[in-house]
Amino acid sequence: MCGIVGYTGPRVATEVILSSLKKLEYRGYDSAGVAIVGEELQLHKDKGEIAVMESTLPSFEGGVGIGHTRWATCGRPSKPNAHPFTDCQGRLALVHNGIIENYAEIRRELLAEGHRFTSETDTEVLVHLVERNFEGDLRQALVKSLAVVKGTYAVVLVEKGARHIVAARKENPLVVGLGVGENFLASDVTALLDYTNKVLYIMDDEVVEMTPEKVTIYDPSGRPVQRRPEVISWSAEEAQKGGFEHFMLKEIFEQPEAIRNTLRSNLEILENGGLLGNAEASSVKIVACGTSYHAAMIGKYVIEKVAKVPVAVELASEYRYGTGAKEHPLVVLISQSGETADTLAAAREARRRGCRTLAITNVVGSTLTREVEEVFYTRAGPEIGVAATKTFITQLVGLYLIAMRLAQARKAMSVDELRTMRAQMQQLPQVVRKVLDGSSKVEEAADMLADARDVFFLGRNLNFPTMLEGALKLKEISYIHAEGYAAGELKHGPLALLDSRTPTVAACPKDHTYDKMLANVAEVQARESPVLAIGFEGDRDLAQVASRVILVPEVPPMFSPFPITVVLQLLSYYAAKRRGCSIDKPKNLAKSVTVE
């Protein structure tokens, strides 16, 4: 996730900006840059760590400036794509977090008008738009420019020879830090705490203008807003976690946003045939490890149902041992990091076998993106907790969209059916939000698991892999032994292990598996294993058979892995917390597994 900072005041702006940017490093980034206002704008940026950029930074003079750490989304991680960007005249410099959805169209227009671009980013259109609209009032020019932009932003601008900074926000965080004779601006308070703990949070569609002496916030109609500053009592570490106790919990709560961003930046690309052109694969193989493998398993059900294409799923570490006989023409490789050694090896092997390759990853420019022909980017933002949460849920979004794309190409769904599915997908952020709103109930229910030595997770159909993922989450962060099972397999062995000390978690959405799941729950309870059942709101029958019930918003059955996954993530989190585990860094595990 990109980081923004800004400063205006008597100090050396470069020093403030560098130290504040370093406080935002935890957000993840691949390049960094600064622009300092002097008689001319002084600009410096580079790919890689802030220290790399700093090592070649000239001693810029000036007390006004902006800085940025970039997490690549549109355009590779590279020096030209790093922020800030300047206009053609070198009069304005701008940094941005978010996505400009209609940038391609705006860029075409601006190119035709003679504007010169130096990067592949969506952001660069903003500075040229402001240049086009600038008639001496920077704030007015920004407001006019944002009126034609579709997307999300925290955007910050400085102007040659001026002491003010102008910024605006839509669905991306922006906070002003108030000093005495100086003012600050950043993506989060972490960057400000060395200088001030008095802050003003900027809200969606507001614009802010600040000088060393004054900060004015404007509402969408241009009227000044009166806002009382908040006093922050968090430590820097608490601030990085946005007030959450762990990164994992913060990332679980970021899922509505992550889903929305992934949909926003991919829906149109897919619908306009921008991926998998001539997508007529007669069969598909999906290859991945760990949590990404569970997403692949869910993807198999969805693609087969929606696009009517046979799908095989294989662990990346096993793929190399296959003979390649009757190879599937399309191989989809899933890796949130894009650096997992086994998945990279599988991508090379798939190409060696002559397959078309598509990666689903969260990291722009990762090694995997260079090993495949096409890439679908999830837009979860960096994930810091070792346990994959928001990256998993956005991988699901990716697989559902790819299923729609294949269905469209193969005419396996009518236009109306595709439209309905699109609308259902757009409801997912709200569905997940509602589950999160009920997190305290899940926290209470986690007591059922916290003292167990073993836990079973049961589901059927596409919730069989959902429960495999639930079991993986619990074991990796709480160190409780957990097994995911297809509920129908229970009688074929695991039933022998059930007793009153072995709780079971069961996915029971009202779909075609419901009656059988209910019978399985009764079967388990009969062995005295306490059952925690997850069902849809309005279900009164579940409580008759299960020890405890968590109800989630009803969704069309195909989408049930979304709300159920969120419950499972929260259950693991709260069980691990009760056991006092090191949740963000579980023992023996690494975020990125770069050895085979």
Instruction: Give the 3-state secondary structure of residue 112.
Output: helix
533: which DSSP letter?
Answer: E
Among 335, 394, 478, 529, binds ligand M6R (CB under 6 A): 335
Establish if 593 lies at the interface with ligand M6R (CB under 6 A): yes
Paired tokens of 264: 């926003």
* Binding track, positions 341-360, relative to ligand M6R; x by CB under 6 A: --x-----------------
Told to check if 331 binds ligand M6R by CB under 6 A, we report no
| Amino acid letter, residue 525 | Q
* Residue of 14, 152, 337, 513 that binds ligand M6R (CB under 6 A): 337
Q: Which is nearer to ligand M6R, 28 or 80 (CB)?
A: 28
Beta carbon of residue 591, minimum distance to ligand M6R (angstroms, whole number): 7
Question: Which of positions 458-487 make contact with ligand M6R (CB under 6 A)?
Answer: 476
Among positions 385-414, residues that touch ligand M6R (CB under 6 A) are: 386-388
Q: Which amino acid is at 105?
A: E
Q: Which residues pair with 218 in a beta bridge?
A: 207, 224
| Sequential DSSP letters for 47-93 | ES-HHHHHHT------SEEEEEEE--SSS-SSTTTSSPEE-TTS-EE
Q: Catalytic residue among 2, 289, 355, 508, which?
A: 2
Catalytic annotation present for 160:
no
Full 3-state SS string of 173-229? CCEEEECCCCEEEECCHHHCCCCCCEEEECCCCCEEEECCCCEEEECCCCCEECCCC
Among residues 67, 77, 177, 290, the one that binds ligand M6R under rule CB under 6 A: 290
Q: Within 87-146, which residues bind ligand M6R (CB under 6 A)?
A: none
Cα 141–chain centre separation: 31
Between 190 and 361, CB nearer to ligand M6R = 361
Residue 313 phi, psi (nearest 5): -125, 135
Q: How far is the CB of 369 from ligand M6R (least distance, A)?
A: 13
Question: Which residue from 340, 461, 463, 478 is in contact with ligand M6R, where contact means CB under 6 A?
Answer: 340
Tell me which stretch binds ligand M6R (CB under 6 A): 26-34, 113-121, 269-277, 290-298. Answer: 290-298
Looking only at the bridges linking them, the beta strands covering 531-536 and 548-552 are parallel
Least distance from ligand M6R to the Cβ atom of residue 390, Å = 11
Site for ligand M6R in 247-286 (CB under 6 A): none
Among positions 125, 289, 307, 452, the unique one binding ligand M6R when judged by CB under 6 A: 289
| Residue whose CB is less far from ligand M6R, 42 or 335 | 335
In the residue annotation, 2 being an active-site residue is answered as: yes
Q: In whole angstroms, give the CA distance from residue 338 to residue 387.
A: 16
Cα separation, 379 vs 96, in Å, equals 16
Residue 116: count of CB within 10 angstroms of its CB:
10
Residues near ligand M6R (CB under 6 A): 289-292, 335-337, 340, 343, 386-388, 476, 592-593
| Residues involved in catalysis | 2, 591
